[in-house]
Homo-oligomer: A and B are copies of this chain.
Amino acid sequence: MSKIIEVKTPANEKNQRQANENRALFASHGLRVFNLISSPGGGKTTLLEATADRLGNRLGVIVGDLATARDADRILRHGCQAVQIETGGGCHLLAGQVRVAFDKLDTTGMQILIIENVGNLVCPSAYDLGEQAKIGMLSLPEGDDKPAKYPTLFLRTDLVVINKIDLRPVLEYDFERVYKDCRTLNPEVRFLNVSAKTGTGLDAWLSYLTGDK
């Protein structure tokens, strides 16, 4: 792990100040806030659609993409508020962008805010958005070698969600390898195996989000 270099630029210091402001703002609204990070196509939006179906207006979503508002449009149809950030080519969200989006949300009745970051296992891991916890999402088709190959994210994740487990009958996947590699980077990490498509594991996911045991 000695090769990983933390980049401390003026841009990142400015982001950290804004992230700290966001964190205080989110707390003043009584919100639990999560930063959801995965590869492109890991299933973030599908999981958020299923989450919105169950939480309704208790959930708010901020979605980041390089281009298009497709993901926010998808989530909006499931009964929660969603605001899209188009980064215009940017590879990760910044705390300032999240603040602008947050101001567009009506937080009445909202308990949980999920920030769906740009699909990217690398860059989003370095930028605090003011969240309570980072959630790393993997999916079976990506293969079981990702935590060791993308350590900057898995050093920082409170929870690792392994999605698309409905594909287990047709794909090889060594769950124990994933657990071991993640725990080497962060011994406190928790895991949830889900299928956003079929609903498997969603009760445990909702318990994590709401803080209920």
Contact = CB atoms under 8 A, between A and B. Distances in A.
A67 to B, nearest CB: 5
* Count of identical protomers in the assembly: 2
Contact of A89 (B5, B139, B148): B5
A68 interface: yes
A8 interface: no
Nearest to A41: B142
A24 B149 CA distance: 32
B145 A70 contact: yes
A105 interface: no
Contacts of A1: 67
A interface, by DSSP: helix, strand, loop or mixed?
A: loop
Nearest to A139: B141
Interface in A58-78: 65-68, 70-71
Interface in A91-123: 91, 118-123
B148 A67 contact: yes
A164 interface: yes
B3 A88 contact: yes
A152 B65 CA distance: 12
A175 interface: no
A21 interface: no
A11 to B, nearest CB: 12
B40 A149 contact: yes
Interface of A: 1, 3-6, 39-41, 65-68, 70-71, 86, 88-89, 91, 118-123, 139-143, 145-146, 148-152, 164, 167, 170
16 contacts: A3-B89, A4-B67, A4-B88, A5-B89, A39-B142, A40-B142, A66-B150, A67-B149, A67-B151, A68-B149, A89-B152, A91-B122, A118-B122, A119-B150, A120-B120, A141-B142
